[in-house]
Amino acid sequence: MQGREFVSMNGICRRAAACVNALERLTMRTDLTSRTLLPLRACVSCAKLLSRQERFCPSCYTDDESVGRPKYDRLLWTIQCVEACPLHKVLLETVPKVLKRERYTIWLPGVSRIDGSSLANQPTRMASEEQVRSAHLIAELLDDIHQSPDKFTNGNRTIEFIQHAASTLFDGNRSQLEKYLGNIGAIENICSRNRTMSLPMLTIIADRCGCKICDVILGNNATLRRMYESANATVFLYRYRGVRTFKTSDALLVELEKLDKYGLLTNLSEACRLLDVNENCIRRLAPDFAMLLVHRGQELRRMEKLARREKGFNEYWKYFQELLQEDIKPTRTKVAERIFQRTGVKKDFVYSKFHSRALKLVHLSSVKRNGNIPETPPKIGADQKTSNSCRKRH
């Protein structure tokens, strides 16, 4: 299963249940439901559950190839809040997309859809301790679902766990527990309305209380401990893409420094996407660094624009030379027609600048036939630009 069919079967909605039931009838099996997230329907919210992108771990595909088994996708990779592989401690990579997909095309796991190469050869990036720890907690939750799925279908007992955590860690003071968890007002709202929590929120509660996610869901009286020194009262609540995310200012700054150290921050928008916050959050916490990311993005876009322009001129220069070698006067219209015949691309609105530059390269105001023409166009450097600007001034 690939694409939308693959995501729908791993969900917790009615469509996912119908797909799994149909597959169980076709395969004569009765354990497929426990291998999905369907047992969590009664105790986990659908918000931010499944990832919109297909991801994979290159090291896991390498292990599959080393033992000689077919590469397969893990259920853990489809969960949105999982960012790393808990086994190899590397970040999950996004499956490269193909621009055009033919109908009835079947893609095999671990195979590139662009050139058919193995995705096990993709480079890996090390994950942070927080990302690996969260992935471990969710992987343990999937193991508990597979071993005893009936426990999770009976109901949600998260409110009982919140009461147990407040009495154990903060002597029954729920407000102190909310500050410690970084979810001011959100836990009280969920408990008062008896709503189900999202999986990212359950992961944060289990991580900060030193227990498993199944203990939070099932309301177990597990042994709890504070994983951090004290409650952080300076908690900022930000809204990103219509979904609430709860992060402390210190945690955001630490994560921002790590991403910049790994070289993953190309602009401010990329930082907001990786940190799952809005631009105002970064501008408020680190204004100087936010301005640096803005300038970095502007410089990157400028370099990409120059690279695209140079690539377009190299193509124009190629067909400009072909016409001269064929003893044909290379006017702008004829060069544009030659490009359209060879590539099927028509861009007359930019060919005028390319044609003026090509005429300057052959040192002619109007092109002569059988002239000495350089094979490759010289690049315009900073010295040439300054000299040309000085000539224009004089």
- The pLDDT assigned to 186 comes to 65
- The pLDDT assigned to 110 comes to 86
CA distances from 60 to 63, 111, 124, 154, 374 (A): 5, 13, 11, 34, 51
Among candidate residues 182, 215, 195, the one with its CA nearest the CA of residue 47: 195
Does the pLDDT at position 325 exceed 70?
A: yes
Which 8-state DSSP code applies to residue 383?
A: H
* Rounded to 5°, angle at Cα 319 from 314 and 321: 90
Q: What are phi and psi of 203, to 5 degrees?
A: -65, -40
Sign of CA dihedral 193, 196, 198, 199: positive
pLDDT tens for residues 73-119?
898 998 888 999 999 999 999 888 766 655 546 678 888 877 778 88
pLDDT tens for residues 44-78?
888 778 888 889 999 999 999 999 888 888 989 98
Hey, which bits of the chain come out as E strands? 55-56, 84-85, 90-91, 93-94, 235-240, 243-248
Cα-trace Rg, the chain: 29
Q: How confident is the model at residue 349 (pLDDT cuts 50, 70, 90)?
A: low
Give the Cα separation of 44 and 200 in Å (integer): 10
Residues in the chain: 394
pLDDT tens for residues 249-279?
677 778 888 888 878 888 888 888 887 777 8
- The pLDDT assigned to 386 comes to 41
Q: How confident is the model at residue 2 (pLDDT cuts 50, 70, 90)?
A: very low
pLDDT tens for residues 168-185?
888 888 888 887 877 656
pLDDT-wise least confident of 223-227, 333-337, 359-363, 378-382: 378-382
Residues contacting residue 282 through CB under 8 Å, at least 6 positions apart? 252, 256, 268, 271, 272, 275, 289, 290, 293
Does the pLDDT at position 236 exceed 50?
A: no
Among candidate residues 72, 9, 1, the one with its CA nearest the CA of residue 36: 9
Give the Cα separation of 26 and 7 in Å (integer): 19
Strands 55-56 and 84-85: unpaired
CA distances from 294 to 297, 306, 322 (A): 5, 19, 43
CA distances from 307 to 270, 303, 314, 380 (A): 21, 6, 11, 12
